[in-house]
Structure 1
Amino acid sequence: MRESRFADRDEAGRLLAGAVAARAPELVGQGTLVLGLPRGGVPVARHVADALDGELDVLVARKIGLPGEPEFGIGAVTAGGPAVFDERTLYQFGLDAERLAPDVARERAEAERRLHRYRGDRPPPVVANRPVLVVDDGLATGVTARAALRDVRAQGPARLDFAAPVCAAQAADVLAGEADGVYCVTRPADFTAVGAWYRDFAQLTDADVEEALAAAAYRPRH
């Protein structure tokens, strides 16, 4: 029987928040920095930050698509970290990092643009020597999550974890080599795509991300 889908990102975020708080209680009340991956990961991360009494911010990671098929992700890059590629896919299509350098530059510039829009004049959050949790609305291939985690790891967090409501089992296993903990509400055996596990998986806008961040900024901290 197929597992139940999440109603929307709000429900998924609340369920993920409960799962993380129960499985990693050491993250609660310890000033954990929760970094949502825009756009879909931010409303999910907001609930997690609430449950952990943590700080919510964003980390923008951009997919690098297969030339001619931009929706087929073969890598990812953040505004400040190194590009990460699926090496098997590169080999399969006869590609290398040099060939994809223009794509990397374009997506890095877009990551910088979005980060500036979401954060504005606020300084970046402190990462060094504190627990950090990266959150997305789902984990499919894991390449975007790997780029995000490597960016954060280079900044010296005390510990680094990843969480998503739904995870492809293989990707979650691979990500365990990048994060100190990987938390998922469900790892369905018949995973196909992240959106298939939501009844409402509407495309979000930059305004949706800004609204979630603004609401978190005014949340009382204990």
Structure 2
Amino acid sequence: MIENVTIFKDEIDAAQNLAKILPAEHLKELNTLIICSSIDSVLLVDEVAKMIELDYELLFTQPIHAPNNPKCNIAIVSENEEIIVNDELVKAFDISYDFVYSQAKRQYEETILKKIYKFRNGDLLSNLQGRNILIIDEGTQTGMTAMICIKTLIKAGAKTISYATPIIAMDVAMHLSDLTDDIYAVDRISHFIDVNSYYDNKMALGDDEIIAILKNSQRYKKLQKGDNTDAI
């Protein structure tokens, strides 16, 4: 049976559809902070943030690839050096955990720190102790990024954590429901292909275009204090 799923025109269309199913007034009453889970999701998150009138911040993560296979993610590390490991893949490929943790440290130092300076002026995340958080991603296939964000936010003391995305794999949604307070999705897909397959015209924005969105946004505060993007 072929699933009847939504195909979005672009990220703006996806943002509009997602905003419609979010309880905006309730989220505002809770003074909810949106967490954008990836650079690729900035355009969508900025649009949603404007529509539901909430501020957002970026949380940086970086995948760790299997040796000699850049398409296979065996783990993911966040900006506070939390790690999620796919133990099944690590064991199946006979990869040592020493390799995983050494790669996590390298990705943190060589990639994540640069992103923090480039997209957040070198600032830390805001104090999230006791905050109500809504993570937003452009699409969720495996859930690894979602899980590392959730783990990081729990460690940071978030009071509640909800998750929102236009499209999510059904099995991932079921798993994340045990880890979050609420999940909002336009479509939960049983036979998920990949995120790009559910967008007609997904925009491939470069770093300069992302920075322009962040600088011009009234909902992203971390680049409003000055330009530190040449610090890397």
What TM-score does the superposition give when structure 1 sets the normalisation length? 0.89
Identity value in percent = 21
Give distance in 2, aligned partners of 1:129 and 1:185. 28
For 2:72, the equivalent position in structure 1 comes to: 72
Match of 1:118 in 2: 119
Structure 1 residue 187: deviation in Å?
Answer: 1.1
* 1:11 corresponds to: 13
The residue number in structure 2 matching 1:35 is: 35
Aligned to 1:20: 22
Which of the two has higher C-alpha Rg?
2
Q: Which amino acid aligns with 1:190?
A: H
Q: Does residue 197 in structure 1 map to residue 179 in structure 2?
A: no
Cα 1:196–1:144 change in 2 (3 A) is same
Please, which runs of 5 or more residues in structure 2 have no aligned partner?
A: 221-232
The size of the alignment, in residue pairs, is 217
Aligned-residue Cα RMSD (Å) equals 2.0
Alignment correspondent of 2:230? none
The answer as to whether partners of 1:35 and 1:57 remain within 8 angstroms in 2 is: yes
- The answer as to whether partners of 1:31 and 1:53 remain within 8 angstroms in 2 is no
Kept in 1: contact 2:66–2:73 (CA 8 A): yes
In structure 1, C-alpha distance between the alignment counterparts of 2:199 and 2:144, rounded to whole Å: 21
> Aligned partners of 1:8, 1:170: CA distance in 2, in Å?
25
Runs (4+) of structure 1 exceeding 4 A deviation are none
Gap runs ≥5 in structure 1: none
Partner of 1:87: 87
Distance 1:217 1:27 in 2: 18
Contact 1:195–1:201 (8 Å) recurs in 2: yes
Q: Tell me the TM-score normalized by structure 2.
A: 0.85
Distance 1:81 1:53 in 2: 31
Alignment of 1:153 onto 2:154: yes
Contact 1:83 1:147 in 2 (8 A): yes
* CA distance in structure 2 between the aligned counterparts of 1:52 and 1:133, rounded to whole angstroms: 12
Match of 2:224 in 1: none
